[in-house]
Structures are given as structure tokens and as C-alpha cells.
Structure 1
């Protein structure tokens, strides 16, 4: 009789251990990311599923990461527009934000000092909410001239250093000035261009997610 009881207890314990291993860590959960940006984030003129957030999510899931990347891109948005909507575009429960704004500021010749002030305020608000930030940098278009570029281009590195957030230096890396990777407007990426962007961005995203996950343990 004692043998049967002991055997039953062992079976229960062993079953619990096996279930625990199959279920994974008790605190494991889906990482919630939001892509806060402009048309480059929103997938301007691209079919559903071909935009940057959707393709980044698919690439990360293919690597075994449990993550959702929500698209909060608005075509034509400036840093000022992003600041005005950051509180409702980034819902509670968000773990991290990929902040991609500033391209339209440069195209419109908005003073870089204003752009920096807006991005600074966005990062500050997100940090106050305990939300991690991965800052996606932008470069001023050549037609804006050297003086404008000298004032605009350092914004992102300066903010990343100030707030100690991760920086991806140039969101359009590998796609800018590549006609075969752009739409006919010569500015926005086509589906293949988005693939290149995701491929280059993915290591930074994985590192970002790793940082978030380590803080959740």
C-alpha cells in the first residue's frame, strides 16, 4: 500500500515537472511593441502586411520571439504630430516603442531645434511611463543643404545619449537613393525595400527585445 502511494506521489510530481517544462517560465509573455512613426512606418501605398511593422513582426517570430509589433504610423506625420498623439497612440501595456519621426520635418524645412524638442518630449513621456524606446534615426535630404544637415543629423545621437536609449542610426539604410527599392516617388520603400529595411533593422530589434525581456524577469 505504501508503495502504491509513493508511486502515485512520484507520478504527480513528475507530471507537474513535465507540464512546467512544456508551459515555459511562469513570467513568459508576449512582448508588446509599437511603431510610432510616419509613412515609412505606416507602409505608404503598400498592400496590407507589406509594411515595416508587419514584416518586422514576422521576421522576429521566425526567430522564435514572442512579440507583437503594432503599427502606429501616420502618413505625413511630423515630430509635432507624433508628440500630440503619443499618449493615445501608445496604449498602456506597451513594453517598447520604435520611434521613427523626423523625415517630414526635414522635407518641410522645419527648424531642427523644433524637431529635437518634440522628439525629446516624446521620449521623456514614454520613459515616464516605463516604456523602453528604440530611436530610429533619419538624415536630412541633400537638397536641404549642408547647414541644415549639420543641425538636423546629430539630433538622434544626442537624444539617444541624453536618455540612454538604443539608437538605429538611419531608418532607410540600404534603401535611400536605391530606385529599384523605392516607389515611383523616389522616397518611400517598395515591398522589396521594406524587406531590406527589416533585414538590417532586425538585429537592433532583437537586442531591444532582449533588454526589455531581461527587465521583466
Structure 2
């Protein structure tokens, strides 16, 4: 479900360089999220990372997307498990957290701090990020929704992340694209999310390929 607990507590992440020859292999991404990433109520091959990977491969991209979605996770919960969720060969991260925060009415300042810390730690690790935004339910009140909705564009600018403004664009509120709970997308709904995400993920991949090229062309260190 989309309700869960989490506490923000992390130290800095150590950077692990890509192995030799990695520039010729598939780009490895991690999708860090909640049940919307995990694929609540769906088979594994219908979850967002799998559907997104299939669409990218159909467009000629060599990419592997690891599913690090945990149902019920908040932004703080994602921060708490960040260290073990990001494998050493990861080259980019899709961060899709915050839906549970909004549903639970968590103080937007708490959500902002957790996401800001996640992005700062990924920055320190040298990993390009796609930040998938979320909107607060409109029944939370004007002040809450305005403050919550501003988190994602603000943090994307602050950290230079690729921004996809609303993860559920075109799916939220459409009954046939959601399960009976009205919250989690069906396989068809997830497919539409994946299709809409493709251009933003391609921008992320372009940044990763540019980094690969920079690393490949860098002069070898001299020995004194």
C-alpha cells in the first residue's frame, strides 16, 4: 500500500568507480521509490522499471533498471535505505518518492529535507538523477498543496537533476487506469507512465553517456 514509516538517517556514500570497459556495457539505473515503483498488485514484469526498460530497449538503448521500490515507503524511508539500495555499478538514479508523505499529510519540510539529502548524497556519489515529482491531494488544503508541490521543481533546480514534474500524469484520476483502490495504476496505467517517462529518462541516459565519454577520454594519472 501507499502508507508507510521511515526515519531519515544517513552518512555520506562512498563513490565506487565504474569497472573497466563499462562504457561498452548497458547503462545501469536504479529506480528508488515506493509502491508506484515496486508495482503494487502487479506481476514483476508489469512494474514501472520493467516496462520502462522494455520501452527504452525498443528504442535502441542498452539499459538495465533495478527495481528499488518498497511499498509504503516515504521520502525519509528511502533516505534510510539509500546506502544499500544503490549498487556499486549504478550509473544513474530515478528518484520517485513522496506520494506516501502527501497521503499521510507529513510536513512538507520533512519531505523536502529527506529528498534534498538523497539528492545531495547522490551528487556526492557522482550519479546523475531523474527526479519524478508528485502532487499533493487537492483536499489537503491550498497552503499544504502549494508548499508540497514546490518541493520537486525547487530541488531539481538546486541539484541540477532532470525533472519529470508529476509521475502519475495522465493516469491519476482515470478509473480504468487504476486498480480498485483508485491509487495504484493497472499494468496499462503503468505502461502509460513508462511511455511518458521515456524522454526524460533518455535525457538522463545522455548525461550518463557524456560522463562515460569524459571518463574514457581523461588522461591516465602520472606516477611521481
User: TM-score interval w.r.t. the shorter chain?
Assistant: 0.7 to 0.9
Query: 1:84 maps to what in 2?
Result: 80
Instruction: Tell me the matched-pair count.
Output: 193
List aligned pairs for 1:25-104, cutoff 5 A: 27-104=23-100
Larger Rg over CA atoms: 1
Query: 1:151 maps to what in 2?
Result: 147
Query: 1:160 maps to what in 2?
Result: 156
Match for residue 132 of structure 1 among 128, 131, 136: 128
Which consecutive residues of structure 2, in runs of 5 or more, have no partner in the other structure? 1-20, 214-224
Whole-angstrom CA distance in 1 between matches of 2:126 and 2:22: 22
Alignment pair present for 1:196 and 2:180:
no
Alignment pair present for 1:179 and 2:175:
yes
Higher normalized helix content (fraction of residues): 1
Judged with a 3 Å threshold, the aligned counterparts in structure 2 of structure 1 residues 177 and 210 are, in CA distance, closer, same or farther, namely: same
How high is the TM-score relative to the length of structure 1? 0.87
Whole-angstrom CA distance in 2 between matches of 1:139 and 1:174: 13
Q: Secondary structure at the match of 1:203?
A: helix
Whole-angstrom CA distance in 2 between matches of 1:26 and 1:153: 37
Deviation at 1:145, TM superposition (A): 1.4
Deviation at 1:214, TM superposition (A): 1.3
Whole-angstrom CA distance in 1 between matches of 2:104 and 2:22: 49
Whole-angstrom CA distance in 1 between matches of 2:22 and 2:150: 42
Whole-angstrom CA distance in 2 between matches of 1:147 and 1:27: 46
List aligned pairs for 1:113-124, cutoff 5 A: 113-124=109-120
Q: Which has the higher contact order (CA 8 A, sep 6+)?
A: 2
Whole-angstrom CA distance in 2 between matches of 1:113 and 1:173: 24
Whole-angstrom CA distance in 2 between matches of 1:27 and 1:100: 26
Q: Secondary structure at the match of 1:75?
A: coil
How high is the TM-score relative to the length of structure 2? 0.84
Which consecutive residues of structure 1, in runs of 5 or more, have no partner in the other structure? 1-24
Alignment pair present for 1:215 and 2:215:
no
Query: 2:202 maps to what in 1?
Result: 206
Give RMSD over aligned pairs. 1.2
Query: 1:106 maps to what in 2?
Result: 102
